[in-house]
Amino acid sequence: MSRQRPFRAILFDLDGTLTDPFTGVARSVNYALAQIGHPPLSDAELRGWIGPPLHASFEQLLGDPAMADQAVAHYRQRYWEIGMFENTVFPGIPELLRDLQAAGMRLFVATSKIRPPTERILAHFGLQAYFEAIAAVDPDDRNGNKALVIATLLPRLGSDRAWTVMVGDTTYDIAGARAHRMPCIAVTYGYGEYRDLYLAAPLALARSVAELRELVS
């Protein structure tokens, strides 16, 4: 007798979960900072920029919403032209998505990234066809709140909402899912700090794509 699958639908974060965007994000952040005369950040500092809403990160660093607006505009200029493709798919992700789709799992993307680059990245890497729908952020949205992103998918999930899990690499994913009483599997191969993820008490922690496969298959 085959084992019953634990879920019917999966919401995947993008950055740090499906793809490793560090190079493009890091270079685009430092490009934006250079345009406004701010010193560059180190790689260690830049790791924390993957996951949180972009405007919030700039505003926290710069302490000025108007200056953060300027930085975001400079960031997007470089990121949309170059940065989004300075990116790699985590090994094993295409095969996992293929197998889940073939088994009848409903797959979605739920990201705090804005929609145009999200769609271009998924198409560039041949991943878009695996997803039933993409929930992302409008270009003029400063917030990028993960709970609000997830909320846009709930009507589409219908009765499968009770059998849905969020998969992401930061505490923002855990909190966003929890706001809708949805479980979250946190992957530790991305950009969230292990201790923070552990203390946020997700349903499970996956140290690799192989471990993630075991948890959702």
- Active-site residues, by number, are 13
Q: Exposed (0-12), middle (13-18) or buried (19+): which is 62, by Cβ within 10 Å?
A: middle
Neighbouring-strand partners of residue 110? 135
Phi-psi region of 144 (alpha: psi -120 to 50; beta: other; left: phi over 0): left
Helix (H/G/I), strand (E/B), else coil: 205: strand
Q: Which of 141, 148, 142, 198 is nearest to 169 (CA)?
A: 198
Neighbouring-strand partners of residue 88? 20
Distance (Å, whole) CA 40 – CA 71: 13
Helix (H/G/I), strand (E/B), else coil: 11: strand
Q: What are the angstrom distances between the C-alpha of 54 and each of 70, 80, 105, 133? A: 12, 14, 31, 23
Query: What are the tokens at 182?
Result: 């949805």
